[in-house]
């Protein structure tokens, strides 16, 4: 089918876009529930139950976006999948162990005998922390072109911390939206305390990417691109300000504006993601492999795309249904 | 050990741990739907009590399945890059369809199924239960399509060492797919039947005489009694299909070295690959020929046909395949014996669970995990039986492995094994803890007073 021109051009691009959207959705959705896990040690035992209740019906579907993203990388860009994942062997293993621990701790903490609950709470925190740090580390290594030098490791260690703080910040924003009274007030404090992670993280990645790669430097800092792209950093700065101001108005008696911090945090994530996507396009493995070189056979991509066109709107629809059913402030989770 | 062997053990360990939980959720989803529909039809609260107990087991098993499944999707890339590089054009779309049609469906509706009973209308809760059960089954379908294709590949052509799809119908409906899929779905049904019977028997032995434990005990035992003959028949069909497409696997299963007629069915033997013969054989004369060829002098292929001129062995390691197969079949016959005897005793003069002697109730408790044993043994038979191939005749396991330093693989393997052992112990412990708690009367607690807006969202139960 040559409806849109050469399928070896538009199919890889479409799949790169789909994969990008999945990663973005994953980072926002699992970002907030990982963040809630990272914030666990700051909460009382009763608050921990509410925190888990606020993410309980969603976390499973949130993690499925990671499976979709990695699945798209696997099916659409098989060569890149192998190169990237073998280069990130250890952080991937740490992330997976973290995901295992936190995923099962959700269930065990309420089903195991009561004396064991503290242990599972701790494992839930530890798993969330391991996952967030590992993802931040992978982001850092990817930005540095997947090289194994000492500088790369140091930079990746820094992004690991920043991403974890950024996750806990969006997690706190989610809690502001879903909780009330003392816990909500605490969440406001946590969110304020987490903004620096977001700013420094954004700053570090924005500075490092053009410095590491002359190609990316040229993409950003030559005329006329520099003017066309200027709205991106400016908007990000505006979002940070708006986020800060919305937090200062919370908590309040009518709960007015409790949705605002989460909304601004999502917008910030989107802006940051667009910046990264622009920098790295058309490469899927930085400076080594473009999406066009790494793509699977067009006939295989086509058959997935046909399914995706029907299925992805349905996924969107019933995900929205789930968020609607469990809308409002979090209540105790019960099977009856 | 080298990277290849460590990677194989690592993937084997992950996939073995993973399959335990989908094996439960695939069939348990449908059993839960059955409980819910019985409740809708009769209004009898014992069905809802059964639902509430088993939905907890479902939730726990589902979480274990999800997290161990994510691990595997990454390991394709971290440990086996050659797999996707060679057959990615075929495996890719099949995996993508699994994620798109199954994973999201089950993950999203699981929330409503677990926590939505008082929040959504009754029909939506029943629909969510159905969609979760349907999702798990779809997932099994796609993954078994891919697995079967790796055993009996067709519908593709090789260009420059990479497989390209030529006919998707042939790929999906490849020769071993229907047999393998039904064999696995029945295995899942049996695993759940014996798990339900075993945990219910445990509750019974602790003195639980509630109506809900009676219905679950009966459901488990009758379900097992009904499915096991179907499984034995299906297993035989699957074996004949394997004989046609992967004779070397059947030769290893039977421990048959030379292609010959009048092959005995070996009950015991120690296959010796160095000497290329069996030691301490105990067998039933002609029986293997009768099972596989339906006549006593039927010719059964032997392992020695699968050694190349230069001595390269192109058949699977014999002892693991030979023994896994016997463990699977032995467990199957133990299931047959127990479920039929218990069914007979319960149906005789309609005595119900009271008709089952205490000894038999005791036997049911360890048999709660017989489905796991048989399923794992069956998968070891078929997967080790495919070696040295990863995709039969197309790609060997050796060429697909990643060039990762062995110590990396070894360290992560040790970490995975430690976590899996811990989680498995915790899982089994919690199952029995939940059963014990149910015996003590797990009455619905009064709802904790909720503040302000949260309580306004609570819709009265249907």
Closest CA–CA distance from residue B110 to any residue of chain A (Å): 8
Segment B373-408, tens digit of pLDDT: 999 999 999 999 998 899 988 888 888 888 788 888
Q: Using an 8 Å Cβ cutoff, are A57 and A33 in contact?
A: no
Q: What is the pLDDT along chain A (336 residues), one digit of tens a residue?
A: 455 677 777 888 888 888 888 899 999 999 998 999 999 999 888 888 889 888 888 888 888 888 888 888 888 888 888 788 888 888 988 998 999 899 888 888 888 888 888 899 999 999 999 999 999 999 888 888 888 788 888 888 988 998 899 899 999 999 998 888 888 889 989 988 888 778 888 888 888 888 888 888 888 888 787 888 888 888 888 988 999 999 888 788 888 888 889 999 999 889 888 888 888 888 888 878 888 888 878 878 888 888 888 888 888 888 888 888 888 788 777 776
Choose the mutation target among B11, B64, B93, B440 for the interface with A, i.e. most A CBs under 10 Å. B93
A-facing residues of B in 245-274 (CB < 8 A) are: none
Whether B458 shows a pLDDT value over 60: the answer reads no
Whether B447 shows a pLDDT value over 60: the answer reads no
Q: Tell me if A335 and B74 make a contact (CB, 8 A cut-off).
A: no
Predicted-complex ipTM score: 0.81
pLDDT range class, residue B457, cuts 50, 70, 90: very low
pLDDT at B445: 54
Chain A / chain B CB contacts < 8 angstroms: 242
Instruction: Decide if A146 is inside a domain.
Output: yes
Instruction: Decide if A239 is inside a domain.
Output: yes
Closest CA–CA distance from residue A228 to any residue of chain B (Å): 37
Average pLDDT over residues B172-196: 95
Domain count, chain A: 1
Q: Tell me if B73 and A78 make a contact (CB, 8 A cut-off).
A: no
Which residue range forms the structural domain that includes residue A233? 8-325
Best CA proximity match to B325, nearest among B271, B287, B292, B374: B374
pLDDT at A4: 67
Chain B contact set for A131 (CB, 8 A): none
Segment B324-338, tens digit of pLDDT: 999 999 999 999 999
Instruction: Decide if A174 is inside a domain.
Output: yes
Q: Tell me if B96 and A334 make a contact (CB, 8 A cut-off).
A: no
Length of chain B, in residues:
462
If you average pLDDT over every residue of chain B, what do you get?
87
Whether B281 shows a pLDDT value over 90: the answer reads no
Phi, psi values for residue B106, rounded to 5°:
-70, -40
Segment B301-317, tens digit of pLDDT: 888 888 888 878 888 88
pLDDT at B455: 43
pLDDT at B170: 93
- Show the beta-strand stretches assigned E in A167-301: 283-285, 289-290
Q: Tell me if B78 and A307 make a contact (CB, 8 A cut-off).
A: no
Closest CA–CA distance from residue A273 to any residue of chain B (Å): 22
pLDDT at B183: 95
Residues 6+ apart with CB under 8 A from B387: B316, B317, B397
Average pLDDT over residues B277-305: 85
Cα-based angle B307, B309, B311 (whole degrees, multiple of 5): 55
Instruction: Decide if A223 is inside a domain.
Output: yes
- The answer to whether B104 faces chain A, any CB pair under 8 Å, is yes
What single-letter DSSP state applies at residue B260?
A: B
Residues 6+ apart with CB under 8 A from A134: A91, A92, A94, A95, A98, A160
Instruction: Decide if A157 is inside a domain.
Output: yes
pLDDT at B372: 95
Q: Tell me if A96 and B70 make a contact (CB, 8 A cut-off).
A: yes
Chain A contact set for B455 (CB, 8 A): 331
Q: CA-to-CA distance for B18 and B290, rounded, in angstroms?
A: 36
Q: Choose the weakest-confidence range: A27-41, A110-124, B172-186, B192-206.
A: A110-124
Q: Tell me if A297 and B164 make a contact (CB, 8 A cut-off).
A: yes
A-facing residues of B in 382-411 (CB < 8 A) are: 402-404, 408
Average pLDDT over residues B88-92: 86
Q: Tell me if B103 and A297 make a contact (CB, 8 A cut-off).
A: no
pLDDT at B169: 93
Q: Considering CB atoms only, which of A296, A318, A331 is closest to B454?
A: A331
pLDDT at B296: 83
Instruction: Decide if A3 is inside a domain.
Output: no
Best CA proximity match to A269, nearest among A30, A72, A16: A30
Q: Using an 8 Å Cβ cutoff, are B186 and B224 in contact?
A: no
Q: Tell me if B63 and A319 make a contact (CB, 8 A cut-off).
A: no
Higher-scoring residue by pLDDT: B216, B349: B216
Q: Using an 8 Å Cβ cutoff, are B291 and B254 in contact?
A: no
> What percentage of chain B exceeds 70 in pLDDT?
95
Average pLDDT over residues B22-48: 92
pLDDT at A204: 82
CA of A89: how far to CAs of A31, A81, A95, in Å? 22, 12, 10
Instruction: Decide if A330 is inside a domain.
Output: no
Q: Tell me if B55 and A255 make a contact (CB, 8 A cut-off).
A: no
Whether B268 shows a pLDDT value over 50: the answer reads yes
């Amino acid at each position: 089918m040559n409806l849109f021109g050469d399928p070896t051009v538009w199919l890889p691009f479409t799949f790169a876009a789909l994969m990008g959207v999945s990663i973005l959705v994953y980072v926002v959705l699992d970002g907030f529930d990982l963040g809630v896990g990272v914030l666990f040690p700051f909460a009382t035992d009763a608050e921990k139950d509410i925190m888990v209740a606020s993410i309980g019906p969603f976390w499973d579907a949130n993690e499925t976006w990671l499976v979709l993203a990695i699945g798209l990388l696997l099916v659409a860009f098989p060569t890149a999948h192998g190169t990237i994942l073998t280069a990130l062997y250890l952080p991937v293993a740490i992330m997976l162990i973290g995901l295992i621990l936190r995923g099962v701790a959700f269930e065990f903490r309420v089903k195991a005998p009561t004396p064991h609950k503290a242990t599972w709470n701790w494992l839930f925190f530890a798993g969330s922390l391991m996952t967030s740090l590992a993802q931040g580390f992978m982001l850092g290594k990817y930005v540095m072109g997947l090289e194994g030098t000492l500088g790369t490791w140091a930079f990746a260690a820094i992004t690991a911390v920043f991403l974890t703080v950024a996750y806990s910040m969006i997690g706190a924003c989610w809690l502001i939206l879903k909780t009330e009274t003392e816990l909500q007030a605490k969440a406001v404090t946590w969110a304020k305390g987490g903004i620096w992670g977001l700013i420094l993280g954004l700053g570090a990645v924005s500075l490092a990417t053009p410095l590491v790669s002359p190609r990316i430097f040229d993409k950003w800092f030559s005329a006329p691109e520099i003017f066309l792209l200027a709205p991106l950093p400016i908007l990000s700065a505006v979002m940070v300000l708006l986020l800060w101001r919305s937090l200062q108005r919370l908590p309040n008696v009518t709960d007015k504006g409790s949705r605002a911090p989460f909304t601004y945090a999502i917008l910030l994530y989107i802006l940051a993601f667009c910046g990264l996507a622009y920098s790295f396009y058309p490469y899927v493995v930085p400076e080594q492999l473009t999406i066009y070189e790494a793509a699977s056979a067009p006939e295989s991509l086509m058959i997935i795309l046909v399914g995706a066109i029907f299925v992805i709107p349905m996924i969107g629809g019933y995900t929205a249904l789930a968020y609607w059913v469990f809308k409002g402030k979090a209540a105790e989770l019960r099977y009856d | 050990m080298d990277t290849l062997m460590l990677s194989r053990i690592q993937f084997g360990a992950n996939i073995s741990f993973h399959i335990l939980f989908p094996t439960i959720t695939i069939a348990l989803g449908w059993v839960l739907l059955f409980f819910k529909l019985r409740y809708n039809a009769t209004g009898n609260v014992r069905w809802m009590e059964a639902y509430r107990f088993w939905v907890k087991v479902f939730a726990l098993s589902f979480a274990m399945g999800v997290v161990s499944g994510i691990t595997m999707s990454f390991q394709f890339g971290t440990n086996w890059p050659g797999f996707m590089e060679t057959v990615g054009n075929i495996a890719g779309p099949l995996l993508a369809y699994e994620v798109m049609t199954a994973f999201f469906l089950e993950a999203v509706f699981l929330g409503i199924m677990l926590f939505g009973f008082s929040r959504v209308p009754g029909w939506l809760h029943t629909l969510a239960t159905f969609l979760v059960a349907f999702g798990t089954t779809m997932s099994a379908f796609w993954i078994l399509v891919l697995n079967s294709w790796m055993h009996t590949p067709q519908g593709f052509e090789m260009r420059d060492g990479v497989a390209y799809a030529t006919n998707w119908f042939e790929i999906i409906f490849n020769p071993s797919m229907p047999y393998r899929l039904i064999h696995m779905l029945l295995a899942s049904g049996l695993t759940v039947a014996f798990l339900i019977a075993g945990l219910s028997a445990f509750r019974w032995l602790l003195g639980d005489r509630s109506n809900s434990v009676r219905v679950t005990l009966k459901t488990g035992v009758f379900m097992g009694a009904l499915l096991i003959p179907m499984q034995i028949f299906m297993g035989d069909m699957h074996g004949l299909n394997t004989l046609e497409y992967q004779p070397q696997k059947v030769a290893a299963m039977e421990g048959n070295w030379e292609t010959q007629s009048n092959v005995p069915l070996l009950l015991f033997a120690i296959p010796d690959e160095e000497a290329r013969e069996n030691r301490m054989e105990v067998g039933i004369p002609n029986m293997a020929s009768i099972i596989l060829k339906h006549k006593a002098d039927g010719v059964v292929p032997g392992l020695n046909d699968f050694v190349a001129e230069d001595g390269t062995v192109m058949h699977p390691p014999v002892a693991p395949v030979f023994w896994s197969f016997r463990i699977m079949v032995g467990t199957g016959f133990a299931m047959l014996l127990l479920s039929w005897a218990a069914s007979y005793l319960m149906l005789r003069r309609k005595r119900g669970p009271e008709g089952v002697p205490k000894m038999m109730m005791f036997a049911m408790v360890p048999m709660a995990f017989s489905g796991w044993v048989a399923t794992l043994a069956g998968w070891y038979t078929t997967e080790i039986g495919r070696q040295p191939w990863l995709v039969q005749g197309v790609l060997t396991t050796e060429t697909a492995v990643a060039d990762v330093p062995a110590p990396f693989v070894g360290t992560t393997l040790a970490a995975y094994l430690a976590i899996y052992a811990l989680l498995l112990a915790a899982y089994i412990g919690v199952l029995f803890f939940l059963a014990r708690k149910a015996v003590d009367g797990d009455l619905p607690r009064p709802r904790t007073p909720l503040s302000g807006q949260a309580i306004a969202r609570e819709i009265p139960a249907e």
